[in-house]
Structures are given as structure tokens and as C-alpha cells.
Amino acid sequence: MPSSVITDAMRRAILLSAHGLGSTSPNPPVGCVILDSNGVIVGEGYHERKGESHAEAHALRAAGARARGGTAVVTLEPCNHVGRTPACHQALIDAQVANVAVALIDPTSRGEGGIALLRRAGVNVEVGVLANEARLVVGPWLDALEARRPFTTLAYRLSASGISSADSALLCERRHQFDAVLDLSGFLEEGRAGAHRPDVMSLPGLRPPYDPKSTLEALYTGGVRSLLLLGPPDMVAPFLVSQTIDRIEVESTLVTGSSQQESGWECLPPGYRWTSFTRTRVGVLGYAVQYNDTSANVN
């Protein structure tokens, strides 16, 4: 099968996986496409919620007998543990899939990983297919796992009068991809109401003052893997100091010549660099990520 068929299918699987953003935690967002032996898509799916079918199970169910001798294209290593749902590596073996293409290894594999078990069963496994593109969706989940705290995005508005909380209309649009939204001046809510089953993610009872470490630990323990953080600069400052903010979204309606920040920084805190911009109806949305000295000069 030409490799372009596999990469096309992986790009589709990555897109599907993104539909799980904001609802799969503490599980990862994963997408899967099944190709028959001629390279035709015969099944696809994505993981939506912990406790419900994994991406591979959805895709195999759709493919039925047409999966035999075909290729499963998955954004993350198929799981090897039987939990609330059967192990995906076994489902792929049972369906007699001949090849499996995986983008990224699952660091939570318990014991021997799904890939090793598939290979032992005679399945041809290719790993690292479009890994960087798959990371666009599952990367924050992987980072959260490594750091043992939610991948945290800070959002604020920059206007002629200084830094303030993100615009509520914009927030309505942006919050759906996050497991939870924590406004340091008032509330903690699920990103998309009812997106998670209450038995798999529970928001802790947090009270000010918010110590970054214990706050993020409590959220992680509750199942939160992605967090949108809001609040005035003085309340956000400890989170910046403790380097627990991974990404920043700045909504700017700045007027030139109006710089009068009292936060100690102009538009981005030290240690962050721009990655992209979007022009909106009312201004600009700027995205930034944390950098360290070794990556400061890398685009």
C-alpha cells in the first residue's frame, strides 16, 4: 500500500481525535481509521469519554469483517489493559488486521505495550507516522502526564486600559477544548458542561488564595488534564513564577501609544514567545508558548 494512503488516513485519524478534546480526560483524545486490504477506508472513530468505547473499538465495529487483512491507523499506541473496556490490541488481533500504523507511543502502557503484543501476534506495526501532527491534539495530554499537572493555558485581554479578564463572548467559544476553566477571581467549571462523566472527572473544591502547586495537583487528581486559567495579573503571577503556565492566549484590542501596564510586563510575561495570530471581529488573538533558553532562537 502506498505510504500516502497511510498518511492520508493518519491525518483523518488526527482530525477525528480532536473531536475528543475537552471530554476524554483523564483518558487521551485518540482517533482511528481502518483501511481494508486495498487501502479503502472501511471504519473510523474517536474516543469521546472514559468508560466508553476507545477509538479502535468504534472503527473496528464500523469495519466489521472488512478489517481482515487491512490496516488500522491510530494516533496513539493501542492499549494493552482491560479496564472499563476490552484491550484494543486484542480487538485488533481478533479482527485479523494485518498492519497497524501508530503515530505516538502511549507512556501509560502497563507492562508490555500494545505494540509489542501486536507484533508478537504477527501484526506488522509501524510507529512514528506523522508523530508531530498527532501531537497537535494529544500533546497537551502527554505533557500533563509527564508534569503530573494539567496542561495550563492562561487567557487575558489586553486593551487601552491594561490587562483584564478574557472577553466573555470569546471565552464562550474557546472553553470547549478544556477539561476545566478556573477563574482565580471566582469560579471553577467544566470547560463544556456535562462533557465528562461525573464518575471519571470531579472538580475539587478550591478556595483562594490559590497556591499553584496544590491547586494544579488537586485538579490533576480530579482527572483534569487541560485547564484554562483566568484572573487578574496579581492572582496569576504565582502561576507564572512557578512556570506552570504552558500556553497563553492574548486577546488584544490595544490602541497604539496606550501602554500603561502595571503587571511588570507589556503584553507577554517574560519566558513566552508568540506562535501565531488570528484577526478577530474586534481585535487580535495572539498565541504564545513558554520557551527556555535553549529554544529561544528556534522558530
Candidate ranges 64-72, 85-93, 95-103, 162-170; the one touching Zn ion (CB under 5 A): 85-93
77 among known catalytic residues: no
Q: Rg (Cα) of the chain, in Å, rounded?
A: 21
* Annotated catalytic residue, options 44, 48, 52, 56: 56
The stretch among 2-10, 54-62, 225-233, 285-293 that binds Zn ion (CB under 5 A) is: 54-62
Query: How far is 226 from 243, CA to CA, in rounded Å?
Result: 16
Residue 118 Cβ vs Zn ion, minimum distance, rounded to whole Å: 12
> Toward Zn ion, which CB reaches closer, 127 or 241?
127
Give, in order, the Cα–Cα distances in Å from 279 to each of 163, 166, 250, 284.
19, 16, 12, 4
- Identify residue 129 by its one-letter amino acid code: V
Shortest Å distance, C-beta 88 to Zn ion: 3
82 vs 298, beta carbon nearer Zn ion? 82
Q: Which residue, 140, 177, 156, 147, is CA-closest to 236?
A: 156
The binder of Zn ion chosen from 35, 88, 97, 144 (CB under 5 A): 88
Q: Fill in the DSSP letter of residue 198.
A: T
Shortest Å distance, C-beta 82 to Zn ion? 10
| 79 is a site residue for Zn ion (CB under 5 A) | yes
**253, amino acid identity:** T
Work out the burial of residue 276: count CB atoms within 10 Å of its CB; fewer than 13 is exposed, 13-18 middle, 19 or more buried.
exposed
Q: Is the peptide bond before 209 cis (omega within 30 degrees of 0)?
A: yes
* Contact stretch for Zn ion (CB under 5 A) within 52-60, 61-69, 223-231, 254-262: 52-60
Out of 21, 34, 54, 175, point to the residue binding Zn ion (CB under 5 A): 54
- Residues recognised as catalytic: 56
Residues of the shown chain interacting with Zn ion in the complex, contacts defined by CB under 5 A: 54, 79, 88
